[in-house]
């Protein structure tokens, strides 16, 4: 079964609002067995809306539309839908009653714009919205189902979960689609593809492999399709087992697990603790670690020693070490890690010192240079790596690399 997603709103096109709706809808429809053939974002312009609807009609079984259903004059989706389906707007008393009750509960006055939201195309089936004031609308024509939903994410998700997805799953006998995601770190995408060349060549025709890279992390997505869910699941599981045999050292988790989540899981399993001492990452690793619920069980704190003076004052790094080797060096990062482990009395301490850019390069130390160290009962392990020139990208890559080095050390111990 084929589906298309159309998002309406100038704010999406000019970058004022990030389109999270289509990503969420796409994931949900995919799990329900739909093949997403196209995603389109368009202006709040009648001709553009009509063109998008016309192009989708008959080419797919389902079209989900979000946006343009607000109470203001620039929301023109409903009039455009009336034009497309040759119908007219009428007042829906059930929707009007729900809006009135909601306004009263919130102690807001009911005005003409609120009443306008209760107007719906006469030919649609109304999807009542208990999460907001804009109802959803269900149309059918030329073997295509068109569903218009509000652009507010919470309202869209309420309508999808309450009305849309349950009916779609009952109505459409879709093919089974099974996704498995393996999270990898440690090699560039091109090298990973080379390692998996024979694996890909041997995949059954029902299974596809996709590479999804971000900040050094590569998500391997296996997608299986077929008529029977259990059969497809077994086929996918067999390929997952093969990947664990081929690249066990690169797989750190599944289904979107982040490196900080993997580290937290390992620390919990082993009953260990970790502290951090950050320079070039500026507290980003601490932010990542503490984004995990319950991280206080294994993470007491961090020292962000950005300047040399703070490395000396807070971490007790020998000033002569910095003088002789520079702040971005193995001796300094080892001293930072050792000091953090002692200060916080933890099993592990992770330290970073590098040049995020765009300035700060010195002879032999280009922008993108990172030294990181992990201190543990067995000693201090340090590594040097070099990345690119973009500052924000480097901070993300520095953080992920350091967490992966820590992860491997915890496993080794």
User: For 229-265, how does the pLDDT look when each residue is reduced to its tens digit (9 = 90+)?
Assistant: 899 999 999 999 999 999 999 999 999 899 999 999 9
What is the Cβ-side half-sphere exposure of residue 410, based on CA atoms within 13 angstroms? Answer: 28
* Cβ-contact 329, 348 below 8 angstroms: no
Which pair of structure tokens corresponds to residue 49?
């809306």
Q: What is the pLDDT of residues 152-197, one digit of tens each?
A: 999 999 999 999 999 998 888 667 888 999 999 999 999 999 999 9
Cα Rg of the chain, angstroms: 27
Q: Please tell me which residue, 101 or 145, carries the higher pLDDT value.
A: 145
Q: What is the pLDDT of residue 252?
A: 97
pLDDT surpasses 70 at 208: yes
Give the residue from 16, 144, 41 showing the smallest Cα distance to 84.
144
Give me the domains of the chain, ranges plus CATH numbers: 2-171 (3.40.980.10), 176-254 (3.30.70.2860), 263-412 (3.90.950.20)
Q: Is the pLDDT of residue 71 over 90?
A: no
The reported pTM is: 0.75
Q: Identify the bridge partners of residue 376 per DSSP, sorted by sequence position.
A: 379
User: pLDDT at position 74, please?
Assistant: 66
Kindly tell me the burial class for residue 138, based on how many C-beta atoms sit within 10 Å of its own C-beta (0-12, 13-18, 19 or more).
middle
Distances (CA, A) of 10 to 40, 134, 273, 380: 12, 19, 48, 53
Cβ-count burial of 307 within 10 angstroms (0-12 exposed, 13-18 middle, 19+ buried)? exposed
Q: Is the pLDDT at 73 greater than 70, yes or no? A: no
- For residue 358, whether the previous peptide bond is cis, meaning omega lies within 30 degrees of 0, is yes
- Alpha carbons 110 and 115: distance in angstroms, whole number: 7
The answer to whether 374 and 339 are in contact (CB under 8 A) is no
User: Residue 308, by phi and psi: left (phi above 0), alpha (psi -120 to 50) or beta?
Assistant: alpha
Please tell me whether residue 34 adopts helix, strand or coil conformation. coil
Q: DSSP strand E in 262-396: where? A: 274-278, 302-304, 348-354, 369-376, 379-386
The DSSP symbol for 144 reads: E
- Max avg pLDDT among 63-72, 129-138, 172-181, 350-359: 350-359
At what angle are helices 391-412 and 259-270 packed, to 10 degrees? 20
What's the pLDDT score for residue 174? 63
Whether the per-residue pLDDT at 72 is higher than 90: the answer is: no
Best CA proximity match to 62, nearest among 120, 177, 148: 148
| DSSP 3-state of 116 | helix
DSSP secondary structure of 240-270: HHHHHHHSTTTEEEETT--HHHHHHHHHHHH
């Amino acid at each position: 079964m084929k589906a298309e997603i159309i998002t309406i709103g100038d704010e999406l096109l000019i970058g004022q609002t990030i389109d999270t709706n289509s990503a969420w809808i796409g994931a949900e429809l995919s799990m329900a067995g739909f093949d997403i053939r196209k995603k389109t974002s368009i202006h709040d312009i009648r001709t553009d809306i009509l063109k998008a609807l016309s192009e989708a009609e008959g080419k797919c079984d389902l079209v989900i539309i979000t946006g343009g259903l607000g109470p203001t004059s620039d929301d023109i989706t409903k009039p455009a839908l009336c034009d497309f389906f040759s119908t007219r707007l009428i007042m829906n008393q059930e929707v009007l009653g729900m809006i009135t009750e909601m306004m009263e509960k919130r102690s807001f006055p009911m005005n003409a714009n609120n009443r306008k939201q209760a107007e719906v195309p006469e030919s649609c089936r109304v999807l009542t919205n208990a999460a907001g004031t804009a109802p959803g609308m269900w149309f059918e024509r030329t073997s295509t189902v068109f569903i218009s939903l509000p652009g507010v994410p919470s309202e869209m998700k309420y309508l999808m979960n309450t009305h849309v997805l349950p009916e779609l799953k009952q109505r459409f006998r879709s093919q089974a689609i099974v996704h498995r995601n393996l999270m990898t770190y440690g090699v560039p995408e091109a090298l990973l593809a080379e390692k998996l060349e024979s694996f890909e060549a041997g995949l059954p025709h029902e299974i596809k492999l996709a590479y999804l890279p971000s900040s050094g992390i590569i998500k391997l997505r296996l997608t299986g399709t077929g008529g029977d869910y259990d059969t497809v699941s077994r086929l996918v599981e067999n390929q997952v087992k093969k990947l664990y045999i081929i690249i066990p050292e690169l797989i750190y988790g599944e289904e979107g697990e982040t490196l900080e989540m993997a580290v937290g899981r390992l620390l919990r399993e082993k009953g260990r603790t970790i502290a951090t001492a950050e320079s070039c990452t500026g507290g980003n690793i601490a932010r990542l670690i503490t984004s995990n619920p319950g991280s206080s069980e294994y993470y007491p704190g961090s020292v962000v020693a950005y300047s040399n003076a703070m490395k000396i004052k807070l971490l007790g790094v020998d000033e002569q070490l910095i003088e002789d080797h520079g702040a971005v060096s193995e001796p300094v990062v080892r001293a930072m890690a050792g000091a953090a482990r002692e200060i916080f009395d933890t099993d592990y301490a992770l330290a970073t010192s590098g040049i995020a850019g765009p300035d700060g390069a010195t002879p032999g130390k280009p922008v993108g240079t990172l030294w990181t160290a992990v201190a543990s009962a067995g000693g201090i392990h340090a590594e040097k790596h070099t990345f690119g020139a973009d500052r924000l990208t480097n901070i993300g890559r520095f953080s992920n690399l350091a967490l992966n080095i820590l992860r491997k050390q915890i496993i080794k111990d």
